[in-house]
Amino acid sequence: MPGRAGHTVIPLLLQPPQAAAGRGEARFRSPPPLSLYVHVPWCVQKCPYCDFNSHALAAEHNAAAAAIPESDYLSALIADLETALPLVWGRRIDSVFFGGGTPSLLSGAGLDELLAALRSRLPLLPGAEITLEANPGTVEAGKFAAFRAAGINRLSLGIQSFDRKHLQALGRIHDDQQARRAIDIAASHFDNFNLDLMYGLPGQTLAEALADIDAALAFSPPHLSCYQLTIEANTAFAARPPTLPDSDTCADMQDAIETRLAAAGYLHYETSAFARPGRQCQHNLNYWQFGDYLGIGAGAHGKLTLRDRVVRQMRWKGPEQYLARVAAGAPLQDEFAVAAADLPFEFMLNALRLLDGFDAQLFELRTALPLLSIEKQLRQAEQAGLIERQRQRIAPTDQGRRFLNQLLQRFLADPV
């Protein structure tokens, strides 16, 4: 993040973490819950605002065929998983998330094969949340039925807007009618699904932003994710920036969206996430609570807690490069141990996105550091009105949510 709603990517660091020269200083009593993230790097076309590791099919294959090398990629994912087993052997997978790119380009049979391979190698929590991201422009009723039969039990649809002109401005391959049809099909196969929406779009008014929310609410989605459009580096929008609503208008949009969703009975539990009671995204909650996740697939990131250190990993980004590296038994492009001094910032980077905050004990469990080690920063943040503490719970205030980057900077090992 910043990223698409419901998308399981870790927030970009305000500054790169310091790689530990050797083993970390901490000793962990037990590892946190473990999730699996599977990255599918292909899209039908690249959206101009997207800075994720996604590759347009038309640029790599015959545009008329628009097919991914599914068999080769599935084999590579299974081999990648097997390479990672020594680090997670015996640990249970609590949730699975297929992100991208456009994972709905995979076939139901392919997903079934991959999930079967996972279950044969690692224990999977019974009834685990298994999410698949889907683009409304790739929706077919038969395919959604096959996804459900394969074991997918939660769908995340990248709607972004119900306004045709805004969808065109965003470079989406679907229109407003396809968006509505996709939701109807999703709801007929999945009782748990998420709709991604964006606001602060080029030329968008406050009334139009709320119209998108109302259109989404008409489908009674269990979960909604609402993100403000931001211009990210190395995107088409960065090269040719569109005219976006000013910051005051975007703040009004955010306030109005939060008010409308609260009135509709949605719990605002994370910066950009809203859910019906009991429908919070379990996979993303594990991220925000600084849990572990194994990432496989081209460009996938992972975070694993070992006995004496926290390790971050990244797979090779380019699909062809990834396939070649996996075949050579070396899927990792980068791996480093997070320095103990950086763990407070990394923990807060995630946990302070939760509106209810976190229990002080969770900080100690996830970082193997005493809360006293950041007492000075906590006290200063509290005095500045950015956090509030009630007994053992620490949570951002409304002001802290508005100025989250300023709050997070207080926990950097070398504050800027």
pLDDT digits (tens, 9 = 90+) for 240-275: 999 999 999 999 999 999 999 999 999 999 999 999
Q: Looking at domain 34-286, which CATH architecture does it have?
A: Alpha-Beta Barrel (3.20)
Domains of the chain by residue range:
34-286, 340-416
365-379: per-residue pLDDT in tens?
999 999 999 999 999
The CATH class, in words, for 340-416 is mainly alpha
Reduced to 3 states, what is the DSSP secondary structure of residue 169? helix
Angle between helices 206-217 and 247-263 (to 10 degrees): 30
Angle between helices 108-121 and 141-150 (to 10 degrees): 10
Pair type for strands 193-199 and 223-228: parallel
Of 281, 304, 296, 303, whose CA–CA distance to 331 is shortest?
A: 296
277-316: per-residue pLDDT in tens?
999 999 999 999 999 999 999 999 999 999 999 999 999 9
Using a 10 angstrom Cβ sphere, with 0-12 exposed, 13-18 middle and 19 or more buried, the burial of residue 371 is middle
What is the pTM (predicted TM-score) of this model? Answer: 0.91
φ, ψ of residue 349 to 5 degrees: the values are -55, -30
Q: How far is residue 2's CA from residue 226's CA, in Å, rounded to a whole number?
A: 12
Give the pLDDT mean for 138-154: 91
Residue 1 has pLDDT above 70, yes or no: no
Q: How far is residue 298's CA from residue 283's CA, in Å, rounded to a whole number?
A: 20
Give the pLDDT mean for 128-141: 90
**17 Cβ contact list (under 8 Å, min separation 6):** 312, 336, 338, 339, 342, 345, 346
Pair type for strands 42-43 and 301-305: unpaired
